[in-house]
Amino acid sequence: MKKLVALVLALVMSLSLVACGSSNSGASSAGGSAAGTSQKKITLKAGMSGGETSPTYIALSEFKKLLEEKSDGRIEVEIYENDQLSSGDQAKGCEMVMDGTIDVEMHSSLIWSAYVPEMQVIAFPFLFSGYDDVDAKVLDPNCAGYAQIQEWMGGTGVHTVGVLENGFRQISNSKKEILTPADVKGLKMRIPGIAMYVDLYKLLGASASPMNFSEVYTALQQGTIDGQENPLSAMLTGKFEEVQSYVTMWNYSYDIMMLDVSDKVWQTLSDEDKTLLEECGKEACATQVQASRDADAGFRKTVEDAGVKVTDLTDDQMKAFVDACAPLYEQYRETFGEDAFATFGYNF
């Protein structure tokens, strides 16, 4: 674990300083759940957004290591970073695992919300009070929230074997320190192309511009937008600390990723191999979550060392943001249903 944490810190620091056979044929060779199939060789092609410098890479690399070790090399995992298998298109990566072109993938729930709109519920503002809260309501494999994620994802043609985190999303901008909801008003903000975020920033009086992550640095540099919101690790990956002056730590939206196996592969596996993938997936994701949190202080220090003013809100200031965002829940009450919100701890 110490080595993993050191790796995360070293990779992010370095970024900031410079600013089954072949895919389905191999999986299919597993031949179903008949006796003896667990002895056949399986090779899984796994795609992910981001690369080795991304803290989330830990989950997929650990999954590969654990699976290959525990199967004595019988099951192999080939990792394709930066959505190589889908030509850099994250949404296409999700589509390819749904149709079985990719065996395994790891993407954010925000990307998956294009296919599973209910996934937006998890990212609702101030739904979770902190890491202990998300551990109990989202990440614990025995909790209702984890089961709900598996059910939602199961409807797309994939089987979720683990949930990891990008972490809590923070807000940055180049104009001013954000201390109150009024400070967000009028800012030109980049957001992911998620309907809920569009409505949220409209509620706060900001001009919200959905934009691909790869375009954000240039837009910030040229002043096309004033700010963006992301976990600090993603901010460093994009080198946004070079073109932003202020960050407010408001922990407003929790961002998860899922480690998924295509159902077309899953149905070819023996019961023993299904259990093995489940065990390795959960263990790998738990390792990533702990390493990411252990590295949080390092992420913040890197941002501050770059000259960015990082602000922590008082309890009263946080409450003002919570109150300002509350109408969003009523707006989406019928869209997603009260039960979906209740699963993650919110009751109307």
Is 60 exceeded by the pLDDT of residue 8? Answer: no
Is 80 exceeded by the pLDDT of residue 5? Answer: no
Total number of residues shown for the chain: 348
DSSP-assigned letter for residue 212: -
Pick 2-114+134-157+257-299's CATH classification: 3.40.190.170, 3.40.50.450, 3.40.50.300, 3.30.70.260: 3.40.190.170
193 pLDDT band, cuts 50/70/90, is: confident
Would you put residue 123 in left (φ > 0), alpha (ψ -120 to 50) or beta?
Answer: alpha
- pLDDT at site 9: 43
Is 90 exceeded by the pLDDT of residue 16? Answer: no
Mean pLDDT of 13-30: 40
C-alpha distance from residue 347 to each of 119, 231, 321 (Å): 17, 26, 19
Average pLDDT, the chain: 90
- pLDDT at site 212: 85
- pLDDT at site 37: 46
Any residues with CB less than 8 A from the CB of 131 and at least 6 apart, and which?
293
Lowest-confidence pick of 34-43, 76-85, 177-186, 231-240: 34-43
Residues 259, 281 contacting (CB under 8 angstroms): yes
Alpha-carbon span 139 to 282, nearest angstrom:
9
Any residues with CB less than 8 A from the CB of 90 and at least 6 apart, and which?
49, 83, 107, 108, 111
- pLDDT at site 56: 92
294: exposed, middle or buried (Cβ count in 10 Å: 0-12, 13-18, 19+): middle
- pLDDT at site 123: 97
Higher pLDDT, 221 or 35: 221
- pLDDT at site 7: 44
Is 80 exceeded by the pLDDT of residue 325? Answer: yes
Alpha-carbon span 164 to 290, nearest angstrom:
10
160 is written with which tokens?
């979720």
Q: Do domains 2-114+134-157+257-299 and 170-252+302-343 have the same CATH topology?
A: yes
C-alpha distance from residue 86 to each of 49, 53, 95, 96 (Å): 10, 19, 9, 8
38 pLDDT band, cuts 50/70/90, is: low
**Tens digit of pLDDT for each residue in 237-277?**
899 999 999 999 999 999 999 999 999 999 999 999 999 99
Mean pLDDT of 30-56: 74
Among all chains, which residue has been given the structure tokens 């795609």? 47
Q: pLDDT > 90: what percent of the chain?
A: 84
- pLDDT at site 31: 39
**Domain ranges (residues) in the chain:** 2-114+134-157+257-299, 170-252+302-343
Is 70 exceeded by the pLDDT of residue 3? Answer: no
- pLDDT at site 53: 82
Residues 104, 262 contacting (CB under 8 angstroms): yes
Whole-structure pTM value = 0.86
Mean pLDDT of 13-41: 45
Mean pLDDT of 93-110: 96
Mean pLDDT of 57-81: 97
Lowest-confidence pick of 17-31, 111-125, 276-290: 17-31
222: exposed, middle or buried (Cβ count in 10 Å: 0-12, 13-18, 19+): exposed
Amino acid at site 310: V
- pLDDT at site 51: 86
In this structure, CATH architecture of domain 170-252+302-343: 3-Layer(aba) Sandwich (3.40)
Mean pLDDT of 228-245: 95
- pLDDT at site 202: 96
Mean pLDDT of 319-323: 98
**Tens digit of pLDDT for each residue in 326-344?**
999 999 999 999 999 999 9
Residues 63, 246 contacting (CB under 8 angstroms): no
Beta strands 75-80 and 104-108, pairing class: unpaired
